[in-house]
Amino acid sequence: MEDLGPFPSRPGYNEATALDQSDPLGSFRELFVNTDPELIYLDGNSLGRMPIAAKEVIRLVVEEQWSDRLIRSWNEGWWELQLRLGDKLAPLVGAKNGEVVISDSTSINLYKLAYAAVRSSKEGRRKIVTDDLNFPTDVYILDGIARELDLELVIVESDGINGPIDPLSKAIDRTTALVSLSHTVFKSGYTYDMAALTSMCHAAGALVLWDLSHSVGAMPIDLNGSGADLAVGCTYKYLNGGPGSPAFLYVRREHQQRLADPISGWWGHEDPFGFGLEWTPTEGIRKFHAGTMPILSLAAIEPGLDHALEATPQAIRHKSEALSNYLIDLSRTALEPRGFSLASPTDQALRGSHVSFAHENAWPITKAMIEVGKMIPDFRNPDNVRIGLSPLYTTFLEVHTAVCRMADLIDSEAYQEFEGASATVT
């Protein structure tokens, strides 16, 4: 792997550069830190790049708020920060002010909302429905709740790539309390029709809880318009909020009064500084928030939200589709002959912003891409190389270069060393 620049002599190069030149979001790339121009980062769906503006936000928290203002900062913006940023995030998911709060981790939020949902359901609704495409932590959390409350967790089987719509429609019935699905699934990138699935759930009288981790920041989402009841999601993928940045949760306004957070902490109390010993939950979304938030990580979310809002989810989606179609096109001639097969939906309407390829040597290929290929994709057990396309900073030329590098890598002697590597993630 000597040549790590682009490949002007290969087919498609001119198309890639032309697509970049006419990309209306092209200028957003400059808003993100890029310390290594040779590196092609294809994992922004796992940890987004750092917005340059995040440096100043972090500096403010460190140098002025924590260092200088100290405890006074709680009255100068920190106390409301998770609500203010929740309101800022709301338009990215089709929610209103007061329906979103930044809080805890996705796993904790899923627990809170799923628990609240099933506890609010009528007697006789003893079933939680999900699918086998859901992110494992979601399934584990739902399973834990089901075991605890003596409910049945039904994990509907898919073909491994596409949402199992028909089996879901059969599984969701009058005994179903809650349906919980990933909007865009973490492995294949399959993306549910939120409105259609939500209607299916509501027709059976079930609540629906969407995990938006892999779709938020990559496409328009309309929680309000689709009638969705509940949602959670993370902010460190396409929203570029920083490593492990706090997650968010959404509770449709009409459910806020009725649902009870099982974790009844003081931040959700009507009068947190009254220090009374009786639990009186506040009204509104704050009641789903238990304890003090990690301010450094919370504050750092804001620039990523600003960039996504400025770009607009519609334009982001437009570019995302173009990027993934372009990648899939190139893969047919460069990757398929080398043993890769598309492990994502071919129909762009059913696909999020990452594309997975199955390969029997997916793990050594991923390892070689990272260690000698100057590309960072993600490996997903057992046989997927997952390519994340971040519309705000991934370029068409990067996609072109990455595909050329992947092909060259597979053909190279350097790669042979990796083929013997264990399939264990290290």
Using CB under 8 A, which residues numbered 366 to 385 contact its own copies?
A: 370, 376, 378, 380-381
CB of 2 to its own copies, least distance (A): 22
Is the separation of the CB atoms in 396 and 323 below 8 Å? yes
Q: Structure tokens of 327?
A: 């990648």
Is the separation of the CB atoms in 145 and 151 below 8 Å? yes
Length of the chain: 426
Residue number, 21 or 264, with CB nearest to its own copies: 264
Told to check if 264 binds its own copies by CB under 8 A, we report yes
Long-range contacts of range 345-349, CB-CB < 8 Å, 24 or more positions apart?
345/161, 345/162, 345/188, 345/189, 345/190, 345/191, 348/321, 348/324
- Contact window for its own copies (CB under 8 A) among 139-147, 198-206, 326-334, 404-412: 139-147
Q: Which residue in the set 2, 5, 22, 35 belongs to the binding site for its own copies (CB under 8 A)?
A: 35
Of 159, 98, 225, nearest to 210 (Cα)?
A: 225
Residue number, 33 or 196, with CB nearest to its own copies: 33
- Contact window for its own copies (CB under 8 A) among 167-175, 189-197, 294-302, 396-404: 294-302
The site map against its own copies for 140-179 (x = CB under 8 A) is xx-xx---x------x------------------------
Of 286, 152, 299, 128, nearest to 208 (Cα)?
A: 128
Residues 303-362 that bind its own copies (CB under 8 A): none
Is the separation of the CB atoms in 211 and 183 below 8 Å? yes
The site map against its own copies for 210-239 (x = CB under 8 A) is ------------------------x-x---
What is the residue-wise DSSP string for 55-68?
HHHHHIIIIIIIII
Q: Which residue in the set 49, 183, 367, 374 belongs to the binding site for its own copies (CB under 8 A)?
A: 49
Residue number, 1 or 263, with CB nearest to its own copies: 263
Told to check if 33 binds its own copies by CB under 8 A, we report yes
Task: Give residue for tokens 């509907």.
Answer: 156
Give 376's strand partners.
Answer: 41
Residues 66-85 that bind its own copies (CB under 8 A): 66-68, 70-75, 78
Catalogue the active-site residues.
135, 211, 236-237, 386
